[in-house]
Amino acid sequence: MVLTDTDVRDRISASEDRGATHQIQIHPFSEDSLTPVGYDLRVGGKYASMRRGGPFEIQTGDSLEIVPGDTALITTLETIGMPRDRSLSAFIFAKVSKVSMGLSHISTTVDADWVGPLLIAVTNHSMNTVALDHGEPFCTIVFVENISPSTKACGKLAGRLDVLLERLASGGRSTSARRR
């Protein structure tokens, strides 16, 4: 079952810590980012480019540019804390407004025990450089209720900085390509 804006609002933790067992943490939370069936995640403070390297930091008033054919790994402004009872998971989807500019990403999942910022890969398929401002909505998280709580831990680092740094160290090549 997909959570609506009403469901998400009812399950948001009022504090920065994970709160009650069944609550979702979204910090910082913005009512403007709440959609009928999700929450628009915003460009956070770190990103890397598969072509230019990084990681780079951006702040309020700054933007990142994704040149044609490049993929940027972007951290979300929001820290997401899934409920401690593992009753929810989530999917990340592209926003049509960004797809119409030539940006896309492969939909990803958010594990039931995830806590931290998210790392979202965005590719520019257009022939133009596309800029994203710090704090600008660029993808949507959709929460789904699990039929039963997950028992397997995700075992991933918050913000997936392991992926970010591995990709940069390999010059954008996959680790399997480096082993050949």
Q: In this model, does residue 2 exceed pLDDT 80?
A: yes
Domain definitions of the chain by residue range: 5-168
CATH no. for 5-168: 2.70.40.10
Query: What predicted TM-score, i.e. pTM, was given to this entire model?
Result: 0.84
Q: In this model, does residue 178 exceed pLDDT 60?
A: no
* Contact (Cβ atoms closer than 8 angstroms) between residue 145 and residue 3: yes
Nearest to 73 by CA among 55, 60, 94: 55
Q: In this model, does residue 48 exceed pLDDT 80?
A: yes
Amino acid at 12: I
Average pLDDT of the segment spanning 31-50: 96
d(CA 120, CA 101): 17
* Contact (Cβ atoms closer than 8 angstroms) between residue 66 and residue 58: no
Q: In this model, does residue 129 exceed pLDDT 80?
A: yes
H-only helix segments in the chain: 5-11, 96-99, 161-169, 175-179
Residues in the chain: 180
Q: In this model, does residue 146 exceed pLDDT 50?
A: yes
**Quick one: pLDDT at residue 105?**
81
Q: Which of 55-64, 73-82, 102-111, 134-143 has the lowest mean pLDDT?
A: 102-111
